[in-house]
Amino acid sequence: MDTATLRAFLFVAKTQSFSKAAQQLHITQPAVSKRVAALEAELNTRLFDRIGKKISLTQAGTALLPRAQHILDEMADSRRALTNLSGNISGLLSIGTSHHIGLHRLPQILRAFHTAHPEVELDLRFMDSEAVCATVAKGELELGIVTLPLEPVKNLVMTPIWDDPLGVIVAPHHPLAKSQRVRPESLARYPAVLPGHGTYTREILERAFAPLGIRIPGRMSTNYLETIKMLVTIGLGWSVLPLTMVSGSKLHVLKLQGVNLQRILGTVHHRARTLSNAAQALVELLLKEKQ
């Protein structure tokens, strides 16, 4: 049993396709089939059921899957630990981040990081913060730069970097725009355009309003804050956005009585994973931003 056969097995299991696994591994489909067949022969058991074009794990394959992932994770962690001894800052650094953070917080930092460490190859993936945290927890990304979860997450180390205060915003012509102070329950009379259910930002809003017994009348939802900003600007409803996005715009920030909305942005990494020198260097650069 070697890492090549285990990787082939894992990619076929995840994609449920020999051809897709071959594409992701950058080898031919016959090579993937050969590796899986070799693993099945070595273990003397079938790992996949192949019915027509459908591929599914057998009971033996299901039992092997987490063990194979653990073996490869341990080997990757060992390589990082040994590489770190050299002190070199190089190699591949896989990062997940949200569109908002990528657009508004990271450009100057990534420029400085690339200038200081040109031998690091950045694999930057944009996705919702919740998806980043889940992917880092699975060991598929080394580092996440995200809106931090409101509660601790098993296996994740969370490092706060930025305070990110939120504001309830409306268009200048909204009926509430001219109010000096707004009672939170007044918002219930107007439609809202909000981040989707299950997002950390939506959860912050719901936690703030729940004790007040306020039901949020959502007209529509989207996870892209730039889209929310546009929809509020044209008058489709009120919303919650980071104040950094509102500064310099024509949008009006409401002064809510007794409600303080804030989220924290920062990094996440797997608790059991040894960070590469590249990841440590980027975290240190981000922490300097905090000072």
pLDDT top residue among 181 and 88: 181
Q: In this prediction, what percent of the chain has a pLDDT beyond 70?
A: 97
Which pLDDT does position 282 carry in this prediction? Answer: 96
Chain mean pLDDT for the chain: 89
- Quick: pLDDT tens for 46-101: 999 988 778 899 999 999 998 988 888 888 777 777 766 667 788 889 999 999 99
Contact 147, 201 (CB under 8 A): yes
Which pLDDT does position 291 carry in this prediction? Answer: 60
Which pLDDT does position 266 carry in this prediction? Answer: 96
Which pLDDT does position 159 carry in this prediction? Answer: 95
Cα Rg of the chain, angstroms:
24
CATH class of this structure's domain 91-162+265-290: alpha beta
- Quick: pLDDT tens for 241-280: 999 998 878 899 998 888 889 999 999 999 988 888 999 9
- 3-7, 86-90, 127-131, 209-213 — most confident range: 127-131
Which one-letter amino acid corresponds to residue 39?
A: L
State the CATH architecture for 3-70.
Answer: Orthogonal Bundle (1.10)
- Quick: pLDDT tens for 209-250: 888 887 776 667 888 899 999 999 999 999 999 999 988 788
Q: In this prediction, what percent of the chain has a pLDDT beyond 90?
A: 56
Domain ranges of the chain: 3-70, 91-162+265-290, 163-263
Domains 3-70 and 91-162+265-290 share a fold: no
Which pLDDT does position 1 carry in this prediction? Answer: 65
State the CATH architecture for 163-263.
Answer: 3-Layer(aba) Sandwich (3.40)
Model-wide pTM > 0.85: no
What's the chain look like in SS3? Answer: CCHHHHHHHHHHHHHCCHHHHHHHHCCCHHHHHHHHHHHHHHHCCCCEEEECCEEEECHHHHHHHHHHHHHHHHHHHHHHHHHHCCCCCCEEEEEEECHHHHHHCCHHHHHHHHHHCCCEEEEEEECCHHHHHHHHHCCCCCEEEEECCCCCCCCEEEEEEEEEEEEEEECCCCCCCCCCCECHHHHHHCCEEECCCCCHHHHHHHHHHHHHCCCCCEEEECCCHHHHHHHHHCCCCEEEEEHHHHCCCCCEECCECCCCCEEEEEEEEECCCCCCHHHHHHHHHHHHHHC
pLDDT of residue 129 exceeding 90, the answer is yes
